[in-house]
Structure 1
Amino acid sequence: MPRVITAFSNPLVKRVQALRDKRHRREAGLFLAEGLRILTEARETGRLPQILFFAAASARHPLVLALVAAVEDAGGEAIETSEAILSKLSGKDNPQAMVGAFATFNTALDDLDRGSSAIWLVAERLRDPGNLGTILRTGDAVGAGGLILIGDSVDPFSTEAVRASMGALFTVPLVQTTWAEFLPWLRAGPGQLVGLSLRTENNYRTAPYAAPTFLLTGNEAQGLPAEIEAACDLLVKMPMLGKADSLNAAVATAVMAYEVLAHHASAKDA
């Protein structure tokens, strides 16, 4: 039976609210996700929050009841609360009907099956949480095998990144690693490393992609370092016909991902 908490001073409320801070997330090994849709998708992938706060007004919704039951059956804690508390936890004036505290996770490179998909997304020193969330959504949309974050990238478990992923954080395998670990792993099996770069004449529409394709996007401001570009099997660029010299990292990744997807589909039909 869920307990009821309506006091802002409650220690559990304070502890869960603190998860909006990276240091507290790291210390607790927990992160926040909000919204009935996202938490339901997480449940369908086998991930449940350890702590679930839900609005009293939504307590009779069948999906809320299912989540509450699943959390309690798994040994977690479900708490009925007010919209004001949910707003405090999420940092939003118009909060979602529920907020969950999940255990953080990270897939190891050696646990990936590179044959499970013809396309993989790789991002090097990605800094914007909105871009990270959007790239995860793109990975889900194109059926990517996973997203591999290289180097000092933004925390994928930040509230902003989780929110921007719209649940894809739970559906797309996520690896956080270093370039020194990634490259030997990649070269130990099949995989074409394709880097997005302005320092090439290879048009992304006519480039020779090979499956599995590991599509590498660089830092938003600096792009890919020269030594990483040199290690790529193929560099491609998208022609810029206006005054802008580059696309947003998440937009460029999405455009490239669908181009690679179309190329593989054409090669399969040929």
Structure 2
Amino acid sequence: MEILSPQNSRVKEWAGLLEKKNRDKQYKYLIEGIHLVKEALLARADIECVCYEVEGGIPSELHEAASAGIDVEWVGVSSAVISKCSDTKTPQPVFAVVRKDHGMVQPLLDKERSLVVVLDGVQDPGNVGTIIRSADAVGADGVIVGAGCADIYGPKVIRATMGSLFHLPVVNGKLGEVLPQAKARGIRLAGTSLQAAANCFAYDFTGPVWLLFGSEGGGLSSEVRELMDDGLIIPMRGKAESLNVAMAASVLLYEAMRQRHFSNINNSRCQL
């Protein structure tokens, strides 16, 4: 199938997904570029269609997926259609329309010894995407996104995840309801705090723990801060006053991974 006119009704619908209100209404979103489309296909995401620039054909990296019998509509489109459905200055030759995942918080509550990231008002898309990517990298069980955060289906967030959005559960949740449920199940709620007494490298991450991260400017909301069990300090030997929220999240996540999976490694010098 080919669609060459940017005035086509389907194209207008796709382009509308660049706005959050339309993503919420249609329960769909766009992903752009060969890497993200390939990751979505490999993860068996609920893809409605893959659109490729008709002059160049289906990118070679996607040939295997295109011939694998996956139930996805492949649509050849013009460069004008590609441009209309992209929010970048130099659009890539392929994009896909994906239906949102009906992710649920309950499996994360039920998971034994869970390691979950909880975002509370993290507004910068790059930070949200990077945190999701770090959570994926360490094998965290999921990410819960509360009110006031950047839309996880926005183009900038999706690009920053580099495909990690398709590798672990990333769900929206009402933190005022979810966090008390977690506490009732014995899950510790820990977050960074300048007033904290606990050094993050001395904290026990081996049990069930959810890591709370707040907005770049104000930190955690008062509602979430009151629910937090443990405040942690990330020690710094230099003169920097603080770390970017995505960097802070990465530090804690990697310390959790070290304790859970690498604590018995011999610390003596490696022989290369």
Both structures adopt the same fold (TM-score exceeding 0.5): yes
Inter-CA distance 201–21: structure 2 relative to 1 (3 Å threshold): same
Inter-CA distance 37–212: structure 2 relative to 1 (3 Å threshold): same
- 1:16 correspondence with 2:14: yes
1:229 and 1:27 mapped to 2: Cα distance?
32
Residue by residue over 1:63-119, the C-alpha shift from the partner in whole angstroms, topping out at 9 and shown as x without a partner, is 43344456x852x53211233421221122322221111111242111336546652
2:46 and 2:56 mapped to 1: Cα distance?
18
Inter-CA distance 158–141: structure 2 relative to 1 (3 Å threshold): same
Aligned identity (percent) is 29
219-228 or 107-116: bigger deviation:
107-116
- 1:47 correspondence with 2:38: no
Tell me if structure 1 keeps the 8 A contact 2:129–2:158: yes
Inter-CA distance 51–131: structure 2 relative to 1 (3 Å threshold): same
Tell me if structure 1 keeps the 8 A contact 2:46–2:100: no
1:100 and 1:60 mapped to 2: Cα distance?
12
1:248 and 1:133 mapped to 2: Cα distance?
13
1:58 and 1:171 mapped to 2: Cα distance?
29
Q: 2:258 aligns with which of 250, 258, 262?
A: 262
1:260 Cα deviation after fit: 1.6
Alignment-derived partner of residue 135 in structure 2: 139
Alignment-derived partner of residue 216 in structure 2: 220
Letter in 2 for 1:92: T
- 1:103 correspondence with 2:99: yes
1:201 Cα deviation after fit: 2.6
2:228 and 2:188 mapped to 1: Cα distance?
8
1:49 and 1:231 mapped to 2: Cα distance?
38
Q: 1:155 aligns with which of 128, 146, 151?
A: 151
Higher fraction of helix:
1
Alignment-derived partner of residue 173 in structure 2: 177
Residue by residue over 1:209-244, the C-alpha shift from the partner in whole angstroms, topping out at 9 and shown as x without a partner, is 342221111111101134433322211011344454
Inter-CA distance 117–269: structure 2 relative to 1 (3 Å threshold): farther
- 1:229 correspondence with 2:225: yes
SS at match of 2:91: coil
1:180 and 1:228 mapped to 2: Cα distance?
7
1:154 and 1:105 mapped to 2: Cα distance?
17
Alignment-derived partner of residue 186 in structure 1: 182
1:193 Cα deviation after fit: 1.3
Gaps of 5+ in 2: 267-272
Q: 1:168 aligns with which of 164, 169, 179?
A: 164
SS at match of 2:40: helix
Alignment-derived partner of residue 36 in structure 2: 38
Give the TM-score, by structure 2 length: 0.88
Gaps of 5+ in 1: none
1:142 and 1:66 mapped to 2: Cα distance?
29
Give the TM-score, by structure 1 length: 0.88
Alignment-derived partner of residue 94 in structure 1: 90
Inter-CA distance 58–136: structure 2 relative to 1 (3 Å threshold): farther
Letter in 2 for 1:11: S
Matches within 5 A, 1:110-121: 110-112=106-108, 114-115=110-111, 118-121=114-117
Letter in 1 for 2:18: R
1:62 Cα deviation after fit: 4.6
1:115 and 1:269 mapped to 2: Cα distance?
26
1:197 and 1:173 mapped to 2: Cα distance?
26
Residue by residue over 1:147-199, the C-alpha shift from the partner in whole angstroms, topping out at 9 and shown as x without a partner, is 01122221100111111111111112012111222123202424221111112
Residue by residue over 1:2-55, the C-alpha shift from the partner in whole angstroms, topping out at 9 and shown as x without a partner, is x12222222211211110001111111110011222122112222142122112
1:135 Cα deviation after fit: 0.8
Tell me if structure 2 keeps the 8 A contact 1:59–1:65: no
SS at match of 1:20: coil
CA RMSD after TM alignment: 2.4
Inter-CA distance 227–23: structure 2 relative to 1 (3 Å threshold): closer
